Amino acid sequence: MRTAKPRTLLAWLCDRDRLVYRRFEERFTEVGVRLFGNSPTNPTCGETQFRRWTGGKLATLPGPATCQILEAMWPQFKAEQMFGPPPQTDPQAPANDLEERVRMTAEEALEGADVTASASISDNTIDELRDQVTAVAQRYHLKSPATAYEEADKLRLAIERQRDRTQVPVQQQQLMILNGQAAALLSVAAFDLGFFPSARSLARTAALFGEATRFTPLQAYAGGTLAFIAYHTGNPSEAVVKATQALSHDGLGGMAHRRLQAIKARAHAHLGDVASARQAILLSAEDGSSRRDDLHDNVGGEFAFSLERLAMSTSTTALVIGDAALAEADARRALDLIGQQPTEEQSAHVRAGASADLAHARLLADDVDGAADALQTVWDVPAEHRQTGIVVRTARIGRHLARPQYHGAQVPTALRERIEDFNRVSPPHRIGPSVGLLAIES
């Protein structure tokens, strides 16, 4: 870490995010692959170049592709700003600096207190890690996928370190379950960022931890994640199999069944099996509140499947099977339910996803102005929060607006162009129609 004052905003950002050259180069390369594909012509950054960039020694900006990568790494800044002077204060710093320092001190003190452990670790350490996994899960909907991924990965590493320090079977069991939960959260974040192969691998990792520990709720959650990755990547038959297998696990609560039936409904819809899709929709709406499990209900958050998420999912499935009336009704229901929550707790993903489905349903009734009104909520989603589900839904609307009957019409043309601009700066903006856009392909 530098001791001198950073000379550029880029150096300041690297210091803030603890990006030494090696970590910076890894992230720079990864973002380049996401933006431009795995091409030998992608921009690179050697250590000497990195020192020049962060040392304020550039006379002109790097090439456009390099600037695009840097702007994707820190979407809130332009390349010109990054090579300029650093800010006086952190624009993303917590409002209460003392609270953040106290939190960091508590983490460091806990880690230091447990350093002397050898064959076992303190149960308090496991309790703390469990609390941290729960916090990430419960606050996932309020964070960008990239931020959630970083937090879950930090937790995964912390859990792995503790697994290496204990030989006590019950502690190993607990840490493996926590590791599996962290992997499951990483899988969802990778999916939201558009990295489907990595999301699939991480979901399988979570499933393996669930199997090794006989923790069936984790196996079921991972199975459901593998199912929706399958139909997003054009494999709806596989998705039905995965969801059905996940439903066969014992010890699942009503929330787990609700999520898996909703996923199964979408998979059947992609296969054109309308009767099975409708049956799964009905099963997903059954009241299973008397049955609970330790993951979907007790941890909750991203592991849960709230009524507003169910309504949004049903709306999307209805669009796939061509039932515009059901799609609009459930989109409205999702928006009504989320509107009953405090503003600061509302999920941008659910609100925007339901709004996009509502717009799509209105388009099917040729209500272009009504669709434009519904999309107003979508435009408010910050670029870093525009995850796969939102990109998929808006891209589908854009393709609908490209139909011949709308050619030359002012409002449809303006909406289509705005959707293109909206998705272009999203994390998964390079998803093609053979991958993510299949999610609501009719």
* Side chain identity at residue 218, one-letter code: L
DSSP string, 196-258: HHHHHHHHHHHHHHHHHHT-HHHHHHHHHHHHHHHHHTT-HHHHHHHHHHHHT-SS--HHHHH
| pLDDT of the residue at 308 | 97
The answer to pTM > 0.75 is no
- Nearest partner of 378 among 395, 365, 366, 364, judged by Cα: 395
| pLDDT of the residue at 434 | 39
pLDDT at 431 over 80: no
Mean pLDDT of 350-370: 96
DSSP E strand stretches across 237-297: none
CA distance 184 to 207: 8
| pLDDT of the residue at 385 | 92
Mean pLDDT of 31-35: 87
pLDDT at 287 over 70: yes
| pLDDT of the residue at 235 | 95
pLDDT at 28 over 60: yes
Residues 67-114: tens digit of each pLDDT: 999 999 998 889 999 998 887 765 554 444 555 556 656 665 665 555
Instruction: Give the pair of three-digit tokens for residue 317.
Output: 């499935």
pLDDT at 367 over 80: yes
Instruction: Give the pair of three-digit tokens for residue 31.
Output: 């973002």
At residue 438, the 3 state secondary structure works out as helix
At residue 233, the 3 state secondary structure works out as coil
pLDDT at 1 over 60: no
CA distance 304 to 221: 10
CA distance 326 to 330: 6
- In the chain, % of residues over pLDDT 70: 89
The DSSP symbol for 39 reads: -
- How many other C-beta atoms lie within 10 A of the C-beta of residue 122? 16
CA distance 21 to 27: 10
| pLDDT of the residue at 59 | 80
Give residue 405's pLDDT band: very low, low, confident or very high (50, 70, 90): very high
DSSP string, 289-334: TT---TTTTTT-GGGS--HHHHHHHHHHHHHHHT-HHHHHHHHHHH
pLDDT at 435 over 50: no
CA distances to 176, 186, 210 from 130, in Å:
11, 16, 16
- What is 121-305's CATH number? 1.25.40.10
* Side chain identity at residue 165, one-letter code: R
Residues 55-65: tens digit of each pLDDT: 888 888 899 99
- Taken in order 416, 421, 422, 423, the sign of the CA dihedral is positive
pLDDT at 437 over 70: no
| pLDDT of the residue at 439 | 41
- How many other C-beta atoms lie within 10 A of the C-beta of residue 189? 28
- Taken in order 207, 210, 216, 217, the sign of the CA dihedral is negative
| Residues 6+ away with beta carbon under 8 Å from 198 | 190
At residue 101, the 3 state secondary structure works out as helix
- What is 306-442's CATH number? 1.25.40
